[in-house]
Amino acid sequence: MLLFLGCLLTLSSGALCLDQLNMCMNAKHHKVEPGPEGALYGQCAPWRENACCTANTSEEAHNDNSYLYYFNWNHCGAMSSKCKQHFIQDTCFYECSPHLGPWIQSADESWRKERILNVPLCKEDCEQWWEDCKDDFTCKTNWHEGWDWSSGINKCPAGSQCRKWTDIYPTPKSMCEQIWSNSYLYTTLTKDSGRCMQLWFTGSNPNKKVAEYYLNTAQRGQSFPVTTLLFLTATSFFVTIF
């Protein structure tokens, strides 16, 4: 209770509670806390200054059927290299990002305690991902569930058919939002807006400022003033102990 009161007091001063700007989700391969990882591999290297992934995780993110999730990108024939690079980048973003706090939710799943939901992606990243995959094939809309795992890796479930990407995902929005069960939210916001998360970037991580914007927006939109919450919580606390 005292910790909660302290958190509310922190909010009342305009600070961000529990440091949601710099945290790792409770999931299968994430570190407990973010920090420098100078040896991050390949496409995961942009997160090396502050990462939730280890060097080993970053290397495995580039491998087919890696031990991370034993996921088979080639479930409908060989995935094109230009398409696969986006899934590698997506994996790096998911595993390495320390600035996903505003979108972390509890998850009732055997392999993770938390997930991300409705992370607002920049228009360029989503649309280029779809553009580079539109000539590939898949058999499922939601890749989070419904696979045949009997062989140890995912295969198309019985009764499904491999179809052209654009038949499964007719628009960039449908792909970005449906493929990982609404982990991402399609937006028309561009990278220079500072209001959307970037999968692809160079230099310093631009996503911290985006997360800060959404956290501050959430605070300003609270239903009850923090002072009211403090009063109600304190009253309940003292009634309980006395």
Per residue in 103-139, pLDDT tens? Answer: 999 988 877 889 999 999 999 999 999 999 999 999 9
d(CA 90, CA 117): 14
Residue 183 class from Cβ within 10 Å (0-12 exposed, 13-18 middle, 19+ buried)?
buried
Q: Would you kindly state where each structural domain of the chain is located, as residue ranges? A: 35-219
Give residue 22's pLDDT. 93
pLDDT at 227 over 60: no
Give the model's pLDDT for residue 223: 41
The answer to whether 187 touches 121, Cβ cutoff 8 Å, is: yes
Q: What is the mean pLDDT of the chain?
A: 85
Predicted confidence (pLDDT) at residue 206 exceeds the cutoff of 50: yes
Structure tokens at 80: 């094109």
pLDDT above 80: residue 4? no
Are the CB atoms for 220 and 235 separated by under 8 Å?
no
Task: Please report the pLDDT score of residue 14 as a whole number.
Answer: 41
d(CA 89, CA 62): 9
- pLDDT (mean) for 40-45: 92
pLDDT score for 220? 66
